[in-house]
Amino acid sequence: MPNGVKKENLPQKICVVCDRPFTWRKKWERCWDEVTTCSKSCNAKRKKNNQREREKGEEGTRGSAENEEEENNNSSKGNKRCDKCGESRSMLVRCQIDETKAWKMICVKGCWKSVSGGVTDGTPEFPHYKYGGVWKNRRKVSMDGEEKRMRKKEETSLAV
């Protein structure tokens, strides 16, 4: 925008979330064409709505037995699937396991020992293995006593 433009003459747009008009700002000088929301809060609402729509679309593509299982088991909310066995888990190890050096998420309950030898640094038997950290589900709703013991057992086995 040129320096001599009055505030009344600045370009305006309508926010896609709240439907309110907002005017051009200096910080949007280079990206005005991409700006669609009037504020950070409207942008966060838009992203949240888009994420919900994506999740609804994914639910429609799954089988009904899988949906029933997930509805019954609240503790699986936010889990990720193991790249090796495909099981939904609340704790995974990020690691490289082959010559492609692609990062994989591997479950601790069996797959991890088979790809690493049970050691975070790997062994000569697993030359392509590289440890990249532990992922834990922070959105897990609740755990009973047995699950807590299992999680502690898994964490201590990784620390060895």
Q: Average of pLDDT values for 123-146?
A: 76
Residue 143 has pLDDT above 80, yes or no: no
User: Would you state the torsion angle of the CA atoms of residues 18, 21, 26, 29, taken in this order, to the nearest 10 degrees?
Assistant: 80
Residue 93 has pLDDT above 60, yes or no: yes
Residue 61 has pLDDT above 80, yes or no: no
Please indicate whether residue 149 or residue 68 has the higher confidence score (pLDDT).
Answer: 149
CB contact at 8 A, 24 and 1:
yes
3-state secondary structure of 136: strand
Residue 50 has pLDDT above 80, yes or no: yes
Residue 79: count of CB within 10 angstroms of its CB = 18
Q: Average of pLDDT values for 79-99?
A: 87
pLDDT in tens, 63-76: 555 554 544 444 56
User: Is residue 112 packed enough to be buried (19+ CB in 10 Å), middle (13-18) or exposed (0-12)?
Assistant: buried
Euclidean distance between CA atoms 126 and 116, whole angstroms? 6
* Amino acid letter, 118: G
Residue 80 has pLDDT above 60, yes or no: yes
The percentage of the chain sitting over the pLDDT mark of 70, rounded to a whole number, equals 76
CB contact at 8 A, 50 and 122:
no
Per-residue model confidence (pLDDT) at position 139: 74
Euclidean distance between CA atoms 77 and 113, whole angstroms? 25
Give CA angle at 109 (153, 99), nearest 5°. 125
Residue 14 has pLDDT above 90, yes or no: yes
CB contact at 8 A, 23 and 32:
no
pLDDT in tens, 22-47: 999 989 988 999 999 999 999 999 99
Q: Average of pLDDT values for 48-62?
A: 78
Per-residue model confidence (pLDDT) at position 89: 86
The mean of the pLDDT values for the chain is 79
Which residue bears the tokens 């639910």?
A: 59
